[in-house]
Amino acid sequence: MPKTADHARLQELGPWLPAVYSVVITCKSEAQWLEGREESEKPKRWLLSSLGKHLHGSRPRNSYFPTWGSQDYSRGHHGRNFELRSSNLQPLNAVSLQAGVSANPLPKEHVETQVKEESSFSSKSEKAESTLSIVVVGASGELARKKIFPSLFALFYEDCLPKNFTIFGYARSTMTDEELRNMISRGLTCRIDKRKNCNEKMDQFLQRCFYHSGQYSSEDHFSKLDKKLKEKEGGRSSNRLFYLSIPPSIFVDAVRCARRRASSEQGWTRVIVEKPFGRDSKSSVELTRGLKQYLSEDQIFRIDHYLGEELIENLLVLRFSNLVFEPLWSRNYIRNVQVTFSEDIGIEGRGKYFDNYGIIRDIMQNHLLQILALFAMETPVSLDAEDIRNEKVKVLRSMRPLQLEDVVVGQYKGCTEGITSYPAYTDDPNVTKNSLTPTFAAATFFINNARWDGVPFLMIAGKGLHSKRAEVRVQFRHVPGNLYKQKFGTDLDKATNELVLRSQPDEAVYLKINNKVPGLGLRLDCSDLNLLYKSRYPREVPDAYERLLLDAVEGERRLFIRSDELDAAWALFTPLLKELEEKKVMPELYPYGSRGPEGVHYLAAKHNVRWGDLSCDDL
């Protein structure tokens, strides 16, 4: 075979690719297939397809592999270059065909980086020498104490963290290592199972935890943190994960200091950012611009803990792995979709934060809108993070702008039941007496595409309501020419089939159907085909933060929010929020512990929707 530019390019890759070189030079059939192609196409198609054929492999779920440079390996599949396995462990093409990938052959340094990464997996000594450093910025705060540290312990308890890892708490408070460990220990439990070595595991975990006090905007303090990190890393190849559990106003300062003074010199550096991601489109864009001065998009993990719930994972599995549902997933069979988040408590001392953001920014714009996008999206090309997020963005961009007449806002007021008195929202000392901030909101969305045209998506979020509930409820259309309609009287809504995916109070998936009551007569009843998690799966469901922290460690971005998703979400809500504030719309008052303001029933009636939890008894 005559030597071409293909051979020269392969020879440049070095002696560490003899197997791949052998595969390529023996691919005569592929060489013949390439005959007549443009010379510029040969190196790319020949080299990359051969690499893809040679390097197919898989990695265990809980293994940890070091990564060099900016190309991050995610759990089971990769970001933008060589993809070995998808999330379902099926081989993928050698090169991801996502938007933004250049059509030109990969530069030599990119190929070298990827193959060096792959070769490192076969080296046990390399794995043993790598280490992970997790820095919780804002370690003295409530979120860190109640969620982040307990979730990290749960991952350690389940052997999901690498062998060599260190956790550093960073905050302005003065604290010793031992004081931090005492604070953390009060929130640790062995809730997953009751193994006898629980206390031993706790002690081992706490010995990996250290503390450094410093200002969030001080590069000097972060330099001292970097020195401590290097001492614990002991000269190993290090990867660093920063969790920003601090107010958004100081995100950029903390990122600047971490990037300049405490980022990894040999491995990857990633930053988890907590919501809220701004108050509107303008502030969100400014925050993103500020973060991207120091980080690439692949380094930013915008966490929305609600996306780590079992409800989200099961929503995709239920739809895309069961033949019975996908044909029904359209306007032809679905009458409406209800996305509900209700809490039976008030703001519980969060008045200062909540009065600045309100229920729409706090819950609807992120948690519930993300669920809606996942529910309504088209089938992605693969389970790759970028493929899924691309489909979500398409849904958000297809949504009709929110109109004020399709929105109801409310605010809970104080009430007394028996001898128990419940405070009003404005009774909180950190809330102004004339506050117009809504604690309840309901909105109707429409998606202007072929699948969902005309189907109302009703979204409800509220505090101080009658129950704690988080669910997606799908109401199907009535049966055409139903032979049994006379058995339901004039209220055909009682015969409506419903599919419910519930996250709270107990994880469940159930389908409401009509069936005959046993007996001599013909009487119909509304029943449930039920999958109740606690009955079917007795093992406790992991906390959402555990899943998302593990994903961040492994570079899996599927459940994190991309910047263009954020822009599309704010584009939907910013005009509405501006109109509510400029017109000083008065929220409708509703008693604490009720079902919410009366206006929500008129909103449902406007779109010919009956709230699902009123049609027949729920589980």
What are the residue numbers of the active site?
367
Q: Is 335 helix (H, G, I), strand (E, B) or coil?
A: strand
- Which of 362, 445, 365, 404 is closest to 587 using CA atoms? 404
Strands 237-244 and 269-274: parallel
Query: What is the spatial distance between Cα 386 and Cα 555, in angstroms, rounded to a whole number?
Result: 12
Residue 307 DSSP class: G
Question: How far is residue 203 CA from its own chain's centroid?
Answer: 31
Residue carrying structure tokens 């390399």? 126
Strands 130-137 and 165-171: parallel
Q: Which amino acid type is present at position 71?
A: Q
Beta bridge partners of 444: 458
Beta carbons within 8 Å of 478's beta carbon, 6+ residues apart: 335, 492, 495, 496
**Per-residue tokens: 194:** 């009751």
Query: What is the spatial distance between Cα 265 and Cα 113, in angstroms, rounded to a whole number?
Result: 15
Beta bridge partners of 213: 171
Q: Which amino acid type is present at position 317?
A: V
Residue carrying structure tokens 């020498």? 129
Q: What is the 3 state secondary structure string of 287-300?
A: HHHHHHCCCCHHHE
Query: What is the spatial distance between Cα 461 and Cα 423, in angstroms, rounded to a whole number?
Result: 19
Query: What is the spatial distance between Cα 155 and Cα 207, in angstroms, rounded to a whole number?
Result: 15
Query: What is the spatial distance between Cα 604 and Cα 594, in angstroms, rounded to a whole number?
Result: 17
The packing angle between helices 563-582 and 281-292, to 10°, is 150
CB 208 within 8 A of CB 165: yes
Q: Which amino acid type is present at position 35?
A: E
Q: Which amino acid type is present at position 413?
A: K
- Which of 503, 284, 473, 285 is closest to 375 using CA atoms? 473
Query: What is the spatial distance between Cα 253 and Cα 251, in angstroms, rounded to a whole number?
Result: 6
CB 123 within 8 A of CB 517: no
